[in-house]
């Protein structure tokens, strides 16, 4: 692997789920939860992933963590395609990536002590075979996420939501992963605690050089923590660029609407407000042409027939819209 | 004033202990006014709002002091009959998770009609159900009335909840985190709808939220709650432009703002104290950036500091 190649290269990744009818019924359709997603993630980078519920962002995160099997495409981690690994091969490499979940109340086993929860990963991957070593390591991990080492003997219910999320982070860090997939890690937390966790994640990244795929629906949070931001709509990436560019000069009409919908503390500015009509269409039966055209305020005739491809509008800033940048795109029908 | 709450005290009692969840809360809402009630989880904002319609069961909920006056009715002393008349026409509610608040085994039209039968029996017709659904922006209302809740999206379910609440033509609508479970684009639709129906019907709105952006967009005045007490009240614009209480200030700095650079987020150390385990003195002093020794001894009072502004901190004016 050359030093220049990214940590993670995802190419044309698809995750489709069959929709079944009744108990024995045959598949009557497919939900294209993730439909041809490609992107790179550098080591030590944070890539934010936003979109409305049902857009496929959680499924994408889970597919990258190999918690759901990808239907097609490749996921190259440090140059090795892990999309179709299984069994021992997968198990041996699982410690390269970890996941942090949204709900700190449901993602920790209530009957295990915190020390056991964090130590389990060390045990499985044989990172600290001796019990004493393991205990010392657990204590270290707890301290690195701002908790007291003595908390190892406590149970999850003894902690607040923010503290539990810290435990979840310590568990993810235990195996020293290269990539952590954070699925809405702060959405269940209060504002004051949310800021603590965001700061902690940023500190840990600086110290350890771990990369994050940060999945969230709160654009302000994503902008703050990410270097680049990717926007998904109905299983497809509609925009990808630096966090500042995506938020300040969004190219895709969907991103523009999403940003204008965020209620702001500042007084009503001259910001144009775009209230989208309607809701996310069903991914079983997505609209023809551009998937966003039924809700798009600027859609034209060709948007109903031609699928727009993701293209570079300005250097480093990509959008899948025929009209973005005033230009015309190459397209597929 | 349509609603007046004075020095409200609320305790949850069990055999072993009494926990004071609300401690001396006072505020009022005028006709057609929107009050934003802001605070983190555990601050007591939801139970305060539920007390207005006496929706908390006794036991465990007891009111050792204070009063709630809604449209001339003394809520805490009212009989069950008076309360039945008050609920619906006096005050209606919508909650955070519309999917949980709707009954899954009845069609939404039937549920709206039930609300009509209880509160405006003369209007309990299919036509009125359709009119209400239309009023909350649901297209093809006759058809949608026949849907079950699970056939609808979250945004659509919240519209149905609003239609049910409006069926009673309430004087006060309490919206408890009405858009927290929804996506931002749907949130924008629901907030626009709430504002629109409020203006059309001249209803008062008590909007509970933890999102200060929503407050700026919707509220006339704001009350900020912390650990069972109000720590600051002010006109919404002024509070957002110049928060005075150290907690409000910290809360605003902790929320990331879209399109604004600013390195590290300021965070508030620790977490909200649990009811029953309040620190002595000022309830915020352990997390406060400007706390002084005196703060751990004497509990500050909510004081008028400027016209229309109250703050529970004697040091609000010092850096």
Question: CA–CA separation, B35 vs B100, rounded Å?
Answer: 25
Closest CA to A11 of A43, A37, A41: A37
| Tokens 């925009």 sit on residue | A239
pLDDT at A332: 44
Burial class (CB in 10 A: 0-12, 13-18, 19+), A48: buried
Q: A193 in contact with B at a CB cutoff of 8 Å?
A: yes
For residue B295, the cross-strand partners are: none
The shortest C-alpha distance from A333 to chain B (Å) reads 29
Structure confidence at residue A4 (pLDDT): 66
Using CA coordinates, name the residue in chain B closest to A255. B185
**Mean pLDDT computed over B9-25:** 91
pLDDT category, A309, cuts 50, 70, 90? very high
Q: In this structure, are residues B23 and B210 in contact, taking their beta carbons and an 8 Å threshold?
A: no
Q: Are strands A211-215 and A179-183 parallel, antiparallel or unpaired?
A: parallel
DSSP state of B76: G
Report the residue of A192, A194, A254 to disrupt the B interface, i.e. the one with the largest count of B CBs within 10 Å.
Answer: A192
Which residues does chain A have within 8 Å of residue B254's beta carbon, measured at their own beta carbons?
Answer: 191-192, 194-195
Q: What 8-state DSSP symbol labels residue B212? A: H
> Is residue A67 over pLDDT 60?
yes
- Exposure on the CB side of residue A124, measured as CA atoms within 13 A: 15
Quick count: other Cβ atoms within 10 Å of Cβ B22? 25
Residues A148 and A194: beta-carbon distance below 8 Å = no
Q: What pLDDT is stored for residue A129 in this prediction?
A: 82
Bigger pLDDT: B32 vs A29: B32
Instruction: Judge whether A262 is closer than 8 Å to chain B, CB to CB.
Output: yes
Hey, what domains does chain A have and what are their CATH numbers? 8-263+271-332 (3.40.50.300)
Distance from CA of B274 to the nearest CA of A (A): 10
Q: Which residue has the higher pLDDT, A1 or B121?
A: B121
Give the span between the Cα atoms of A270 and B147, in whole angstroms. Answer: 40
Which residue's structure tokens are 């209620």?
Answer: A263
Domain that holds residue B15: 1-32+40-90+172-180+210-256+266-319
A249 touches chain B (CB under 8 A): no
Q: What pTM was computed for the model?
A: 0.87
The least confident of A59-63, A264-268, B87-91, B167-171 is A264-268
Q: Estimate the crossing angle of helix A191-208 against helix A161-173, to 10 degrees.
A: 20
Please tell me the predicted confidence (pLDDT) of residue A72.
Answer: 94
> For residue A247, which residues of chain B lie inside 8 Å, CB to CB?
258-259
Query: Which residues of B fall within a CB distance of 8 Å from A275?
Result: 185, 188-189, 192
B188 touches chain A (CB under 8 A): yes
Average pLDDT over residues B273-284: 88
With vertex at residue B171, the alpha carbon angle to CA B168 and CA B177, rounded to the nearest 5 degrees, is 85
pLDDT of residue A270: 53
Dihedral Cα B193, B198, B199, B202, nearest 10 deg: 160
Q: What is the pLDDT of residue A25?
A: 66
Residues A57, A54: Cα–Cα separation, whole Å = 8
Q: What's the mean pLDDT in A60-81?
A: 93
Helix axes A191-208, B246-254, angle to 10 degrees: 50
- Per-residue pLDDT tens for A311-325? 999 999 999 999 988
Residue of B nearest to A161 (CA): B271
Q: Quick check: A331 pLDDT over 70?
A: no
pLDDT at A333 over 60: no
Pairing of strands B303-306, B309-311: antiparallel
User: Are the C-beta atoms of residues B175 and B206 closer than 8 Å to each other?
Assistant: yes
Dihedrals phi, psi of B246, to nearest 5 degrees: -55, -30
Rounded-to-integer distance, Cα A177 and Cα B139, Å = 50
Q: What is the mean pLDDT of chain B?
A: 91
Closest CB to B185 among A52, A196, A198: A52
Q: What is the pLDDT of residue A2?
A: 46
* Distance of alpha carbon B200 from alpha carbon B219, whole angstroms: 16
Confidence of residue A138 (pLDDT cuts 50, 70, 90): very high
In angstroms, the CA B5 to CA B63 distance is 12
Angstrom distances, CA of residue A6 to CA of A2, A172, A223, A255, A301:
9, 21, 22, 26, 39
If you average pLDDT over residues A195-221, what whole number do you get? 93
> Residue B249: pLDDT above 50?
yes
Tens digit of pLDDT for each residue in A101-136?
988 788 899 999 999 999 998 988 888 888 899 999
Q: Tell me the C-alpha distance between B319 and B317, whole Å.
A: 7
Q: What mean pLDDT is predicted for residues A249-263?
A: 91
Domain count for chain B: 1
Percent share of chain B, pLDDT over 70: 99
User: For the domain that residue B217 is a member of, what is the CATH number?
Assistant: 3.40.50.300
Q: Work out the minimum CA distance from B8 to partner chain A, whole angstroms.
A: 25
Give tens-digit pLDDT for B163-216.
999 999 999 999 999 988 788 888 888 898 999 989 988 999 999 998 888 998
Say what the ipTM of the complex is.
0.81
**Considering only residues 192 to 221 of chain B, which have any Cβ-Cβ distance to chain A shorter than 8 Å?**
192, 210-214, 216-217
Average pLDDT, chain A: 88
Contacts of residue B143, Cβ cutoff 8 Å, sequence gap at least 6: none
pLDDT tens digit sequence for B109-155: 999 999 999 999 999 999 999 999 988 888 889 989 999 999 888 88
Tokens of A159: 């902690």
């Amino acid at each position: 692997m050359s030093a220049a190649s990214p940590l993670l290269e995802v190419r044309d990744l698809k995750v489709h789920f069959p929709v079944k009818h009744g108990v024995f019924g045959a598949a009557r359709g497919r939900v294209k939860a993730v439909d041809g997603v490609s992107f790179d993630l550098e080591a030590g980078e944070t890539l934010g992933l936003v979109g409305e519920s049902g857009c496929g962002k959680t499924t994408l995160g889970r597919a990258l963590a190999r918690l759901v099997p990808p239907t097609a495409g490749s996921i190259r981690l440090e140059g090795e395609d892990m999309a179709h690994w299984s069994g021992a091969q997968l198990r041996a490499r699982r410690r390269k990536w970890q996941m942090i979940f949204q709900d700190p109340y449901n993602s920790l086993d209530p009957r295990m002590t915190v020390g056991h929860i964090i130590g389990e990963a060390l045990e499985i991957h044989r990172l600290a075979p001796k019990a004493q070593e393991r205990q010392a390591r657990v204590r270290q991990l707890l301290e690195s996420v701002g908790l007291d080492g003595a908390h190892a003997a406590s149970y999850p219910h003894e902690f607040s939501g923010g503290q539990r999320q810290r435990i979840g982070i310590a568990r993810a860090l235990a195996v020293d992963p290269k990539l952590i997939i954070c699925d809405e890690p702060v959405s269940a937390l209060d504002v004051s605690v949310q800021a603590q966790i965001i700061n902690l994640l940023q500190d840990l990244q600086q110290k350890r050089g771990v990369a994050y795929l940060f999945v969230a629906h709160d654009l302000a949070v994503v902008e703050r923590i990410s270097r680049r931001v990717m926007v998904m709509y109905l299983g497809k990436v509609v925009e990808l660029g630096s966090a500042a560019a995506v938020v300040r000069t969004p190219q895709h009409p969907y991103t523009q609407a999403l940003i204008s919908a965020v209620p702001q503390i500042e007084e009503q500015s001259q910001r144009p407000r775009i209230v989208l009509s309607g809701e996310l269409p069903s991914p079983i039966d997505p609209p023809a042409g551009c998937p966003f055209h039924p809700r798009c305020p600027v859609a034209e005739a060709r948007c109903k027939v031609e699928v727009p491809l993701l293209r570079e509008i300005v250097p480093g800033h990509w959008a899948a819209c025929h009209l973005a940048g005033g230009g015309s795109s190459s397209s597929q029908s | 004033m349509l609603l007046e709450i004075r020095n409200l005290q609320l305790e949850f009692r069990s055999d072993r202990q009494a926990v004071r969840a609300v401690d001396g809360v006072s505020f009022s809402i005028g006709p057609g006014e929107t009050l934003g009630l802001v605070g983190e989880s555990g601050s007591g904002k939801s139970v305060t709002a539920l007390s207005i319609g006496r929706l908390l069961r006794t036991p465990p909920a007891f009111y050792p002091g204070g009063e709630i006056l809604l449209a001339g009715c003394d809520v805490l002393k009212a009989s069950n009959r008076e309360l039945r008349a008050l609920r619906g026409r006096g005050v209606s509610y919508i909650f955070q998770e519309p999917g949980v608040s709707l009954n899954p085994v009845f069609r939404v039209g039937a549920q709206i009609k039930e609300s009509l039968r209880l509160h405006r029996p003369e209007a309990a017709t299919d036509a009125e159900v359709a009119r209400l659904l239309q009023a909350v922006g649901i297209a093809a209302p006759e058809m949608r009335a026949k849907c079950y809740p699970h056939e609808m999206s979250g945004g659509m379910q919240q519209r149905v909840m609003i239609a049910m609440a409006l069926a009673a033509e309430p004087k006060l609508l309490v919206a408890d985190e009405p858009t927290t479970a929804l996506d931002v684009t749907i949130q924008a639709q629901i907030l626009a709808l709430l504002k629109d129906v409020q203006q059309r019907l001249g209803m008062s709105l008590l909007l509970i939220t933890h999102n200060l952006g929503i407050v700026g967009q919707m509220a006339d005045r704001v009350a900020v709650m912390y650990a069972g007490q109000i720590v600051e009240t002010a006109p919404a614009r002024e509070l957002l432009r110049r928060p005075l209480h150290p907690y409000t200030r910290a809360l605003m700095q902790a929320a990331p703002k879209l399109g604004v650079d600013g390195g590290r987020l300021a965070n508030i150390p620790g977490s909200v104290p649990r009811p029953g385990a309040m620190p002595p003195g000022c309830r915020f002093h352990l997390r406060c950036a400007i706390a002084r020794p005196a703060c751990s001894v004497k509990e500050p009072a909510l004081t008028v500091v400027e016209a229309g502004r109250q703050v529970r901190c004697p040091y609000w004016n010092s850096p």
